[in-house]
Amino acid sequence: MAKRKRQLTEAKIERMIKEGRGQGIGKDYLPWLTIQDVPSEGRATRGVGWTTGRRHQLLSDIERDYFYLLDYCDDVSDIREQFPLLPLEETQMIAEKIGVEHPKDPKTGIPIVMTTDFLITYQDKTLARTVKPSAELENERTIAKFEIERIYWDSRHVDWGIITDSDLPDALIRNIEWVHKEFHNEDVPALGIFTIRNLQQMLSARLHNGEVISRACLACDEQLGLDAGTSLALFRHFIARKIWSVDMTERIMPTLPAKDFSEKHSDIRLEAKGG
């Protein structure tokens, strides 16, 4: 199979703009870059984003991890990744003014459209965040590109900042990752509200009594005649929907009891946030 050509040309930039890259909000937003556009460790998240109702284009593990935190936060109402710093001429002028070379395509020499990893709508504010491993902050070229980015957002009165791996709480992120794909659980409408409520009552009673999560879930599967694993998936669904609460700052282990388990909501919420 032929590899996709990733070289940048002026015609390609114009085509990307006409395609609507970097435009739209919420579910309709189109990232400037996708995992097919650049050589990366990129991966789409498992399932649709809770906040936007769309799949996100995340180009590294650290982007994915920061995305999980944003998606979990109730005060975040929109997440736009790979956001372009347009017009291109503006970042070129900034680079010239501060005396640094503007990023360009290594093969064609064409100036590239710079991007900010995340443009976030948080409460009533817009935040721009770049995420990078802390080791990269020692690279002078990286710092020079950050300065272009900082000036660009400062001129728009947008709060810009850098997030590194040391800023990311690993246990919380891994827990969000574990429940993330169960936010949209097909068993909820398939089983019906009566069965779901019975399962909630039975499972919550066992968890309140300190029973190990996996054992409690398997017992509910057997009592209700469900396929093995159904109750565990729904446990993750209830956590993802914040119907139930556990200590998210420590890794959730199915072989252990649910720490600080509580029921936050009595009603089943079927709608996705922002959907």
pLDDT tens for the 275 residues of the chain, in order: 344 456 678 888 999 999 999 999 999 999 999 988 876 565 666 578 999 999 999 999 999 999 999 999 999 999 999 999 999 999 999 999 999 999 999 888 999 999 999 999 999 899 999 999 999 998 999 999 999 999 999 999 999 999 999 999 999 999 999 999 999 998 898 999 999 999 999 999 999 999 999 999 999 999 999 999 999 999 999 999 999 999 999 999 999 999 999 998 655 554 433 33
Q: What's the pLDDT at 43?
A: 61
Q: Is residue 25 part of a domain?
A: yes
Is there a single domain that holds both residue 96 and residue 220?
A: no
Q: What's the pLDDT at 268?
A: 56
The three-class DSSP label of residue 130 is strand
Is there a single domain that holds both residue 198 and residue 143?
A: no
Is there a single domain that holds both residue 157 and residue 183?
A: no
Is there a single domain that holds both residue 208 and residue 90?
A: no
Selection from 157, 161, 151, 156 nearest residue 128 by Cα: 161
User: What CATH code is carried by the domain that includes residue 33?
Assistant: 3.40.1350.10
Q: What's the pLDDT at 173?
A: 98
Is there a single domain that holds both residue 67 and residue 191?
A: no
Q: What's the pLDDT at 274?
A: 37
Q: What is the DSSP letter of 111?
A: B
Residue where a domain terminates, one of 168, 199, 230: 168
User: What CATH code is carried by the domain that includes residue 224?
Assistant: 1.10.10.10
Q: Is residue 5 part of a domain?
A: no
Is there a single domain that holds both residue 194 and residue 94?
A: no
Is there a single domain that holds both residue 111 and residue 147?
A: yes
Element (H, E) at 205: helix 193-208
Structural domain span for residue 100: 10-168
Q: Is residue 2 part of a domain?
A: no
Q: Is residue 48 part of a domain?
A: yes
Is there a single domain that holds both residue 38 and residue 129?
A: yes
Is there a single domain that holds both residue 219 and residue 111?
A: no
Q: Is residue 235 part of a domain?
A: yes
Is there a single domain that holds both residue 61 and residue 155?
A: yes
Question: Looking at the chain, which runs of residues are DSSP E strands?
Answer: 43-44, 57-58, 76-84, 115-122, 125-131, 159-163, 244-245, 262-263
Is there a single domain that holds both residue 148 and residue 224?
A: no
Q: How many domains are contained in the chain?
A: 2
Cα separation, 263 vs 203, in Å, equals 11
Q: Is residue 66 part of a domain?
A: yes
Is there a single domain that holds both residue 115 and residue 219?
A: no
